[in-house]
Structure 1
């Protein structure tokens, strides 16, 4: 993982926290960045040749984040929207650096 991408994701997570999103608490930001970037980059290995739409990639990222951070995925409920914000922030950084 490039340090530039990781640093950009860390800034995006800090901004989300400052805006009131409860998921990217400062003590979790490094792990969120690492898990998010790893999940984003492993999509081809996990989905083979199937090409996912941008929204499908974000939902895949949400599933990976929830699996990594929530012990009981069935009980996440409305908090999943906050994981979606984190996933969108990671996706935005990654799509801008992949161009």
Structure 2
């Protein structure tokens, strides 16, 4: 069985790759980006955090940067590209999560 959220993320990453996003440039990294992003997205409650949508999005960006950059403090303007990847993940996760899940928490 395929996971519709994961499939949506992979399609979104392929679109970002086609648009020239450097974070999604290597298709071999798409699986890992999806895994890391979904793990971070779904771990908010387990980490004891209640975040609104904007803070949850920023938390996802921070998690992606931490997972993929050797020195997250040096990311600089590249963070905008991580935000594009995070938007793909957040959109896919919120569109496929059932109502009442942590994705809806504010």
Query: Fold match, TM over 0.5?
Result: yes
The size of the alignment, in residue pairs, is 96
Tell me the CA shift for residue 24 of structure 1: 1.1
Tell me the distance in 2 between the aligned counterparts of 1:4 and 1:88: 16
Q: Which residue of 2 aligns with 1:21?
A: 21
Question: What runs of 5+ residues in structure 2 fail to find an aligned partner?
Answer: 99-106
Tell me the distance in 1 between the aligned counterparts of 2:14 and 2:82: 14
Deviations 1:58-80 (A, max 9, x none): 10001110010000111100000
CA contact (8 A) 2:37 2:86 kept: yes
Question: What runs of 5+ residues in structure 1 fail to find an aligned partner?
Answer: none
CA contact (8 A) 2:61 2:86 kept: yes
Where 1:51 maps in the other structure, the secondary structure is: coil
Q: Which residue of 1 aligns with 2:81?
A: 82
Higher share in helix: 1
Q: Which residue of 1 aligns with 2:103?
A: none
CA RMSD between the two structures = 1.2
Tell me the distance in 1 between the aligned counterparts of 2:70 and 2:13: 21
Tell me the CA shift for residue 33 of structure 1: 0.4
Tell me the distance in 2 between the aligned counterparts of 1:23 and 1:87: 11
> Does residue 58 of structure 2 align to residue 59 of structure 1?
yes
